[in-house]
Amino acid sequence: GAKFVHVFYHFARYVMIENMKKLSVGTGIPFAEAVMQRPRNMYIAKARHRVAYSKLLQILQREHFVFQEYRRKAQ
């Protein structure tokens, strides 16, 4: 249910942040620190979220279309 999704999201976020910390050591790129900070302007943060969500949705729709085309051509 919703609680499982919430817990799984937080676990995935934690794993992602730890992985980024490990991979960014010595590169001079503070990815993990940027992820952990709270945004100063919530309006801009929400706008970026909407843009990223829309882009992800477009990518998933394009992927679905390509798979459908492959299936259609395979038959």
Domain of 25?
2-74
H helices of 1-75, in order, are 2-23, 31-36, 42-74
Q: How confident is the model at residue 27 (pLDDT cuts 50, 70, 90)?
A: low
Q: d(Cα 9, Cα 48) in Å, to the nearest integer?
A: 19
Q: Could you give the number of structural domains in the chain? A: 1
Q: Provide the pLDDT for residue 53.
A: 78
**pLDDT at 75 (0 to 100):** 84
Confidence of residue 37 (pLDDT cuts 50, 70, 90): low
Which structure tokens are listed for 12? 């995935």
Q: What is the mean pLDDT of the chain?
A: 78
pLDDT score for 66: 92
